[in-house]
Structure 1
């Protein structure tokens, strides 16, 4: 029996494989295997999931204009986008115009802080957005104010390692009460503000508040309020942050 060659594989099958690979593999490995694979990479469906590594990555550090180049290859088909901290203001605006079909968006810590003045207004361009992940909590209120009435499909929000004060918790409850997925892992989150979220977001099916500081994981009041949430995660959370002095180590 004649062996089938990889380069002769059906293009639809190749697209289904290539779109699951990392950007590094797509840009630097796949295209040099053979002509048919390189030709398949021109299909914009290969570029639906754009998860950028740090631009300082050793194999990509010399790639000038990497973000624009990759976004152009998607031809508006990208549904998942995770930008690097190194994303410039110009590139962020460009992405907001060229990726109208986004469903999942991740903005890391320093990108959020460096461009906090324009991010809220750009968010409304992603009408199909379903899940938003923020690496910084400082602009959460402004972002929610802009998107609450413009993004009807938003069902998931992630703010990791942030500070969820009363104003932020109140904004989540009042501006995004229909959230189904909320991730606040590693945040500073007082019991009072967690209770506010539990009482206000009635449609939650997943709430991740693991490793938070501000409440105890075994708090009975919290457990009772969260009993109706299908996937409630709170392991590792403590009421107060212990210091070296508390343990007599200094």
Structure 2
């Protein structure tokens, strides 16, 4: 290995740097990659680098006392770097209504919004955000057990919505056998192609309303929906 040639990272083609950096997490891009050299910093500043922001379980960062504040600050910085070009964002285990408002105000081109167990995000915060996201095509919410969600207003605000995934949303809030979500979906989201309602309280009546009104459905996931009976009577 004595004759091994040292790599000058600054001389790599921009296209290769771009490919490398896309494989890094958002924290690594913001905190580390930008400091490698000028060419890497220049690519990190490119809005195309931030069209898609993935902030799932952040590992070591989650152990820090200021995890939520640090995660929100990094997310806001990434949104700023996108310069309005953000089309997809995935946030897990942090976030707030104010962060959603920040994203929505600066990301009118957003098409995909995925939120998982964001304890400080409310149903009203989600509604106020999607009211500003007319191009939204994919909305996915998971493990918001106590959330009350106005699906009718969301459907009316997102005419291009093609995918809706609600996993354990409002599970402990809704009463036994409740078709409110199903009827709101049937009444305001006729363009859905993919619908996932895990742990929902809908009944066969709600299911029939969805099937009769959402004519473009290609995939319907009703896992853990205990009040739906698919066995012929």
- TM-score, normalised to structure 1, is 0.72
Question: Residue 62 of structure 2 corresponds to which residue in structure 1?
Answer: 57
Cα distance in 2 between the residues matched to 1:100 and 1:177: 23
* C-alpha contact 2:9 2:37 (8 A) present in aligned 1: no
Cα distance in 2 between the residues matched to 1:44 and 1:110: 26
* C-alpha contact 1:123 1:147 (8 A) present in aligned 2: no
2:132 counterpart SS class:
coil
Question: Residue 131 of structure 1 corresponds to which residue in structure 2?
Answer: 138
Question: Residue 129 of structure 2 corresponds to which residue in structure 1?
Answer: 122
The superposition leaves residues 57-79 of structure 1 with CA deviations (integer Å, 9 ceiling, x where unpaired) of: 24783737222222111111111
- Residue ranges of structure 2 left out of the alignment (5+ in a row): none
* C-alpha contact 2:105 2:132 (8 A) present in aligned 1: yes
The superposition leaves residues 142-182 of structure 1 with CA deviations (integer Å, 9 ceiling, x where unpaired) of: 2432442x433211111012348211111100111221111
Cα distance in 1 between the residues matched to 2:188 and 2:118: 25
RMSD of aligned Cα (Å): 3.1
- Residue ranges of structure 1 left out of the alignment (5+ in a row): 223-250
Question: Residue 95 of structure 1 corresponds to which residue in structure 2?
Answer: 103
Question: Residue 242 of structure 1 corresponds to which residue in structure 2?
Answer: none
Between 1 and 2, higher relative CO (CA 8 Å, sep ≥ 6) is seen in 2
Distance 1:5 1:177, change over 3 A: same
Distance 1:89 1:110, change over 3 A: same
Cα distance in 2 between the residues matched to 1:7 and 1:187: 52
In the TM superposition, structure 1's runs of 4+ consecutive aligned residues that sit over 6 Å from their partners are: none
Question: Residue 72 of structure 1 corresponds to which residue in structure 2?
Answer: 80
Out of 20, 37, 47, the position equivalent to 1:44 is: 47
- Per-residue deviation, 1:201: 1.7
Out of 171, 178, 181, the position equivalent to 2:194 is: 181
The superposition leaves residues 180-216 of structure 1 with CA deviations (integer Å, 9 ceiling, x where unpaired) of: 1111134344333323322332210111223432335
Out of 193, 205, 211, the position equivalent to 1:198 is: 211
Q: Number of residues paired by the alignment?
A: 216
- Per-residue deviation, 1:27: 2.6
Question: Residue 22 of structure 1 corresponds to which residue in structure 2?
Answer: 25
Cα distance in 2 between the residues matched to 1:214 and 1:105: 28
- Per-residue deviation, 1:4: 7.9
